[in-house]
Each structure stands twice: as structure tokens, then as C-alpha cells.
Chains A and B, each alone.
Chain A
Amino acid sequence: MMDRRKLLTSLAGGAAAVAATPLCREAEARGNHKMPGQAVGLLFDGTLCIGCRACMTACKDANDMPAEHTELAIGNYWDAPLDISGKTLNVIKAYRDGDATHKDQVKDGFAFTKVSCMHCVDPSCVSACPVSAMTKDPRTGIVKYNVEACIGCRYCVAACPFNVPRFTYDTPFPKISKCQLCAHRMGEGKYAACAEVCPTGATLFGPVLDLHAEIERRRALAPGTQTVFPRGKIGGTDTYEGPVGTYVERTYGEHEIGGTQVLHLSGVPFELLNKPELPRVAPASISESLQHAIYNNLIAPLGFLGSLAVLAWRNMRPKAAAPKPAPTPAATDDDKAGAP
């Protein structure tokens, strides 16, 4: 046994070792990752969305996803899914108030929003994945998932602040489901199916830098003025003329957790669309800074293990020399009862 003084001394030594670790290399926070120059993404302009949900159908087709029951209080229906799930990567949702007669109006109005992977510049799912099944493409910035590498730990599910990766709980060989921006179709010269079919260009595909420029262009125009909107992807031939919507000041995805490659414009505040309020600092940068600091050169773990070893050694050593404790009456009874 160890007396109080020795215990305190050894604990202080361990604490000093842990405290000294951050003083080593790369002690400062790593900061948010930077977006790849050629990153592609989506712009969802809620004021252009007409709620046709063609993108939901196209998404299912392009990704070979099954149909899904909608569970309602009155029973199950083959209807549009209520949320993204292991079988659904993209859902159009509607904010509704009062008699819902005016588009993009808070009172007595309605507004559409899209729920799908935001393709973060500094994704938490990639940071949390212990086996690199979630990866961020270094060129396009698309957050991809590799089912062969996945061990099914669902850390990505827990890590995502947008609640996007979903797990297929109902299959014997489950996997994570999330939008991968139709990366598998890009080899065929195609792009995100949701943007391809969108009849109003509400979902628009393109290089993120161009999407930001398009957002600036729309914001610079007075609401209601006629302008030419691209349809499908930026720089394509398909365009049409329509009125510019009235936007709220914020572009969702511009700064959230270090920015995302999917950007949202809206006519109503994003809180009403259930878009989470998020800091500008990527959670991944905080957790990685912390962890990389602690595990830097394995100094802290070694120090900690050393402390434990010292404790164990001190526990073991005096035992041989210490006098045998007198057997308690209870122990004697036990022994008698157990004796053959």
C-alpha cells in the first residue's frame, strides 16, 4: 500500500506529463480545413423550388434505392418519405403556417427546403471514422463512403451535425446511406441527378466557387426582377427566365462548421426550416486538435501508462514485506464452511 504523500506525488508526476505534452510539436489548433479549388456542390434556392419532388424520385433512381413506407398515425403508406433514412438520401420538406397560401412568407405561407448531405469542407463524419470508410475527395471535395472498409461503428451517424448519414438497421449486412453527389455517375459525364431533373433550377449543380458567384448575382438583383436562371448545372445550355426571389440575408452553408459545399438560399429564416444553428469552427478541427495533441508522439499515453505502472509496482512491492493481516471472524467462518 501507498501512503497519501506517495500517491499525491505520483499523480502529480502523471499530470505533469500530460500537461507537458501539448508543449510538443503542433500544439496549436489545426483550424478548419480549406476547400479544394475544384470542389463541386449544389445550390438549393428555396424560392425557386416548386415542391414537385422530381429530385426525390431521380435520387432513388440514380442510387438504386428502394421505395419506402411512410409511417403515419393512421397507417403505412407508399408515399413520399418524411425524412432521409437508410433508403432515402434526399427529401424535400415544407414549412407551413396558417392557410399556407403564400410562397416564402412566414405568416400564412409556405417554403420548401431540401435535406441531404451538405458535403462539409471539414466533415465530422470523415474525422470520426476510425477506418477511413468516409473520405473526402481531395479534388472534388465530395464526401464519399466505402462500404468495403466500413466496420459499422456508426461514429459518422453520431458525429454529423446535420444528422445526415443513416444506417440500414433492417438488413443483415447493413451499411451507411448518404448522398455522394452522384459521384458514381460523373464518370459517364453526368452529375447530381437531383439537379439534372430539377425543372426550375432550384437545385443547381456546379463548382462551389461558381455557386457562390451565382448567389452574389441573385442577391444583387432587386426581388421580383426578371433574370435568367441556369437549370441543371452552372454553365449549361438549359436556362429560363423568371423573377428573383426575396432572400433572407444568410446563406446556409457559407460559414456553418467551416463551410459546406451544398449551399442553401431561402425566403424564410432557416430556423423555421429546422436547419441547425452551428458555429463557424468545424467540430472536427477541435476534436482533432485535442486528440492529436494528447497522442502527439505518444508522450501522454506513455506518461499515463508509466504512472499506472508505478502505481502497480508500489502496490505489489510492499505486499511481500507487509505482515499478513489477521483473519477476520467472517473470513474464518467462510473458510470453515468451505473446508472439505
Chain B
Amino acid sequence: MATEKSVVSVVATRTARTPEEDVMASKLSLSLAPQGDEFAGVEKRFGMPRREFIAACAGIAASIGLAGSAVGAVAQALVAAPRPSVIWLHFQECTGCSESLLRAEHPTLEKLILDIISLDYHETLMAAAGHQAEEARKAAMAANKGKYILVVEGAIPTGLNGAFCKIGGKTAIELVKECAADAAAVIAIGSCASWGGMPSTSPNPTGASPVAEILGKPVLTIPGCPPNPYNFLTTVVHYLVLGKLPDLDAKGRPLFAYGRLIHENCERRAHFDAGRFAIEFGDDGHRQGWCLYKLGCKGPETYANCPSILFGDVGTGSWPVGCGHPCIGCTEQGVGFTKPIHSLATLLTVSPPTQFARPAENQGTGSSLATVATVAAVGGLAIGAGSRMARNLGNQPDQPAAPADEDSKR
């Protein structure tokens, strides 16, 4: 145990730190103080050996893009009580997001997270039912006022005053507003909660709307159908470790996960650049793993990290494009469930880092002064010599005849 601790401390003090990391390091130094052992209960509580726990923390830190020095802070944050209360609401959805989360299989991460947070209300996972369940929600909200995390799964129907979805006699609209009022943070998980998703597909008879629209303010969104569980878990851990939400893009998506186009990290990208496209499912190109752009792949206009972190922890290729199906753009409003699956995507790669030649590209540096001088000198010499020669040529017939007596000698 002592050796492991020292390893963590070495990692923690290794390099120059940013102010952010300084905060984490101070937390860490607390955790490494000799009195008491914060990690003593780890094996019992998380059901994993201590070594494995530290490795899992390193994995989490890496997925947020934190430095190695943050591993200790992650471990500290996960071990420290109290566990934040989480209230999870379900509306117009298929529970695919919850199912996806349950299948998070990094080293027992699912246990880790379910033990780390206090999931006080989740219709699929809670044992309570009926009035008892609603009581649990109210009790948790009252006990953790201003501190709990609200997670919303599914779109909120607004048609017929929200009559399409009622839980415990309250409409989805009322429930979201009620729960969000005292929440420390609101997270919309899945495309439905993030931007409407599949239920909002035209003609949208139920008036399915995203959480942000109901609350009238931007919320953190983890779109995807389903979203990658690690994008959600990492966001939660980010919040626990640093006490704030990660950096977001204009659509409320964490940049660590949605900062790049699928197209940029796609393993089939080389085929795209070389013009090798699968034309139809099962043809030669498709069997050889060629680019799926012509089949309607929306990777070039969809921001997500699917090709980087994959799904299901089963190894390479375990994501839609890897399996041979074009990306449908599920994380992207206006693309997923909106554009026909086989219609061609719009490429969003004209701006850097992708570079194109300009219509009139400046090439060459022009002639230097030395070059001009040399050319002028050589040219002048040639002209001078030429004129001299021409003059001599004109004189030649006269020259031998100049002295009259020499002529007579010959």
C-alpha cells in the first residue's frame, strides 16, 4: 500500500502545473497526508482491488484529458463522501441511454459510478414504485436542495399541454421545471433530451422538445442515440473532481467528447481521401472496408468521439462505421433523424486544419537584386560585344587594304 501511495505522489508532483492542477494537487496532498487511509475502504466499497481502482482513476483522468497528476485528485474525489445525489427523469425515450450506461465495462466502472453517486430516483433502476418512488424523489430533492444533479433522458412533449406524458399526475413539463429549480446542474442525456431526437422528427405530433427549450436556458447535453456512456461518466467525474462542468460547445456538448468531427478520426478516412467508396451494401468495396460516404455516412458533418472511444469495450471496429453502417449523425441536430439516411453529407472541413490551395496561390519569391544585376551585366556584355563585333565586321574588308604598299607586296 505504501508503495502505491508513493507512486501516486510521484505522478502528482512530476511536472509544472496549471492553476487548475494546483487545486487538484492540494486536494491530493490532503489525501496523501499520513493520518488515516482514505483508500482503506476502496476494496470493500467498490468491490475492486486498490491497484485496479487507481488504474480506473487514471483512465477517467485520461478520458477528460487531464494530466497524469490528476489521477490522485480523481481518486480522492471518488473516495470522498458525500456522494452527490442524482435524480434521473425519463420522458419520451426508449431507455437506451440508461441501457448504454449500464453496459459501461471499463474495469468495474459501472459499480464505481453507481456507488459514487447516490442515484436517488431512476424509474428503471430503483426498487421503489408508485407513490413510494415519487416520495423518494421529493425527499432527495428536499435533502439535497441546490446540490443534486438532475439528469433528463428523453424529449418533453409539449403538445396538448404536455398530456402525452404524465408521471404521478404531473406532466413532463411540470416535472422538469420542478426538479430543475433546485438542481446544482442539469444534464440532458441522449439526443431526445438534447435536441428533440427521434420523437421530434417531422411532423412531430407530440411537440417533442429538448430540455433546454423547456427550461429556457442552455443545459449540458450528451447527445447520441444512445450516447457513449463514458461521455456521461466523464462529465460527472469532471464535475466531482473540479467542481465545475467541462468546457462546452455552442450546443452545450462537452468539447472533450464532441470537439471533433467523426470524419476526422474515422478509420476509413484514408479510403475517403483516395476516392475508394462502397457503392452499395455487400459490394466489393463494402467488404473491403472502404469509405461509406456514398452510402450516406454523416461522419463529415457530425461531431462525436465514436471512432476514438468506440462502444461496448469489445475492441476495434465496435462502432457503427466500423461495423459497416454509415453514421446517421445521431448527435447532430438537423442531421440525425432529419436527413435521409442515404443522402450525402455536407463536408464541414474546409476550414483549418484542412488546407486548400487558394485560387491564385503565390509561388516563387521573384528575382533577387543579385540575379537582376548578374543578368543585366551578362546582357550588357553580350550587347556590347555584339555591337563591337558588328562594327569590326564592317571594317574588315577595308583593313587589309589600308596601306597601299602592302597590297603591292602581295
Q: Taking beta carbons and an 8 Å cutoff, which residues of A are in contact with B?
A: 50-55, 57-58, 61, 71, 79-83, 91-96, 99-101, 103, 110, 112-113, 197-200, 238, 240-242, 272-274, 324-325, 327, 331-332, 334-335, 339
How far is B275's CA from A241's CA once the two chains are assembled, in angstroms? Answer: 19
> Do B358 and A54 have beta carbons less than 8 Å apart?
no
- Say how far B270's CB is from chain A's closest CB, in angstroms: 10
Contact between chains at A94 and B363 (CB < 8 Å): no
Q: Answer whether A83 and B274 are a contact pair too, CB < 8 Å, given A93-B356, A93-B358, A94-B357.
A: no
Shortest 5 CB-CB contacts between residues of A and residues of B = A54-B275, A197-B275, A94-B356, A274-B359, A50-B347
- When chains A and B are docked, how far (Å) is the Cα of A334 from the Cα of B406? 14
| Residues of chain B contacted by A51 (CB below 8 angstroms) | 347, 349-350, 354, 356
B: residues with CB less than 8 A from A are: 272-277, 279, 293-294, 300, 342-344, 346-347, 349-351, 354-361, 363, 398-399, 401-403, 406
B402 touches A335 (CB 8 A): yes
Chain B residues whose C-beta falls within 8 Å of the C-beta of A325 in the assembled complex: 398
> Please, could you name 13 A-B residue pairs with CB atoms under 8 Å apart, sorted by A?
A50-B346, A55-B275, A58-B274, A58-B275, A80-B355, A83-B363, A93-B359, A95-B358, A99-B351, A199-B277, A199-B344, A331-B402, A335-B403
Contact check: which of B272, B343, B360 meets A52 at CB < 8 Å? B272
Q: Which of A71, A91, A238 makes the CB contact (< 8 A) with B279?
A: A238
Q: With A54-B273, A197-B275, A332-B402 given, is the CB distance from A93 to B350 under 8 Å? A: no
> In the complex, A202→B114 CA distance in Å?
52
Distance to closest chain A CB from B288 (angstroms): 15
A55 to B303, CA, bound (A): 26
- A113 cross-chain contacts in B, Cβ below 8 A: 359
**Residues of B contacting A93 with CB < 8 Å?**
356-359, 361
- A92 and B347 CA atoms in complex are apart in Å by 15
Closest to A92 in B: B356
Q: How far is the CB of B286 from chain A (nearest CB, A)?
A: 14
Alpha-carbon distance A95/B363, docked complex (angstroms): 17
Check B402 against A82 for contact (C-beta < 8 Å): no
Query: Whole-angstrom distance between the alpha carbons of A56 and B279 in the complex?
Result: 20
A55, B276: Cα distance in complex, Å: 11
A294, B319: Cα distance in complex, Å? 73
* Complex-state Cα separation, A272 to B358, whole angstroms: 10
CA of A113 to CA of B359 in the docked complex: distance in angstroms?
8
Question: B356 to A52, Cβ gap below 8 A?
Answer: no
Q: In the complex, A256→B208 CA distance in Å?
A: 55
Select which of A55, A58, A241 is within 8 A of B343 by beta carbon: A241
Taking the closest CB of chain A, its distance from the CB of B404, in whole angstroms, is: 8
Looking at the assembled complex, report how far the CB atom of B159 sits from the nearest CB atom of chain A, in whole angstroms: 29
Give the one of B294, B300, B347, B354 with max A CB within 10 A: B347
Residues from chain A with Cβ under 8 Å of B274 in the complex = 54, 57-58, 61
Tell me whether A52 and B273 are in contact (CB under 8 A): yes
Expressed in whole angstroms, the minimum distance between the Cβ of B326 and any Cβ of chain A is 12
**Contact partner, B402, options A91, A94, A103, A327, Cβ 8 Å:** A327
B-side contacts of A52, CB under 8 Å = 272-273, 275, 293, 347
B300 touches A272 (CB 8 A): no
The chain A residue with its CB closest to the CB of B400 is A335
Chain B residues near A53: list those with CB within 8 A. Answer: 273
Complex Cα gap A329–B290 (Å): 92
A100, B402: Cβ atoms closer than 8 Å: no
Per the bound structure, the CA–CA distance linking A326 and B371 in Å amounts to 48
Q: Which residue of B lies closest to A113 (CB)?
A: B359
Q: Residue of B at shortest CB range from A49?
A: B347
Q: Looking at B274, B359, B406, which has the most chain A CB atoms within 10 Å of its CB?
A: B359
Bound form: Cα–Cα A257–B399 in Å: 58
Contact in complex: B346, A339 (CB < 8 Å): no
A334 pairs with B402, CB closer than 8 A: yes
Chain B hits for A200, CB < 8 A: 344
Cβ contact within 8 Å between B344 and A82: no
Tell me the minimal C-beta distance from A319 to chain B in angstroms. 8
Distance (whole angstroms) from the CB of A321 to the closest CB of chain B: 15
Using Cβ atoms and an 8 Å threshold, which residues of chain B touch A334? Answer: 402
Task: Return the chain A residue nearest B277 by Cβ.
Answer: A199
Per the bound structure, the CA–CA distance linking A101 and B346 in Å amounts to 12
Q: What is the CB-to-nearest-CB distance from A243 to chain B, in angstroms, rounded to a whole number?
A: 9
- Cα–Cα, bound, A197→B279 (Å): 11
Cβ distance A230 to chain B, nearest Cβ, rounded Å: 13
Q: Measured between alpha carbons, how far is A50 from B261 in the docked complex, in Å?
A: 15
Bound-state Cα–Cα, A81 to B354, Å: 13
Which chain B positions have C-beta within 8 A of A81? 357
The CA-CA distance from A94 to B351 in the complex, in Å, is: 10
Closest to B362 in A: A82
| Inter-chain contact A96/B358, CB cutoff 8 Å | yes
Query: Do B344 and A242 have beta carbons less than 8 Å apart?
Result: yes
Contacts A54-B274, A113-B359 known; 16 new A-B pairs at CB < 8 A: A50-B346, A51-B350, A52-B293, A54-B272, A55-B275, A57-B274, A80-B355, A82-B363, A83-B357, A96-B350, A103-B346, A200-B344, A240-B294, A331-B398, A332-B403, A335-B403
Shortest C-beta distance, A201 to chain B (Å), equals 10
| Separation of A113 and B361 alpha carbons in the complex (Å) | 13
Closest chain B residue, CB of each to CB of A273:
B359
Q: Do A199 and B275 have beta carbons less than 8 Å apart? A: yes
- A327 vs B401: C-alpha distance in the bound complex, in angstroms? 9
Please indicate the chain B residues that have their CB under 8 angstroms from the CB of A91 in the complex.
357
CB-CB under 8 A from B351, the residues of chain A are 99-101
Q: Shortest CB–CB separation between residue B122 and chain A, in angstroms?
A: 41
Separation of A50 and B273 alpha carbons in the complex (Å): 12
B272 cross-chain contacts in A, Cβ below 8 A: 52, 54
Rounded to whole angstroms, the CA-CA distance of A331 and B395 in the bound complex is 10
Which residue of A is nearest B347, CB measured? A50
How far does the Cβ of A258 sit from chain B's closest Cβ, in whole Å? 24
In the bound complex, CA of A81 to CA of B358 (Å): 11
- Decide: B403 and A339 in contact? CB cutoff 8 A: yes
CB-defined contacts of B293 to chain A, threshold 8 Å: 52, 199
Compute how far the CA of A82 lies from the CA of B356 in the bound complex, rounded to whole angstroms: 8
State the CA gap A295–B344 with chains docked (Å).
58
Q: Could you tell me the distance between the alpha carbons of A98 and B346 in the complex, rounded to whole angstroms?
A: 20
What separation, in Å, do the CA atoms of A179 and B281 have in the docked complex? 34
Q: Which chain B residue shows the least CB distance to A53?
A: B273
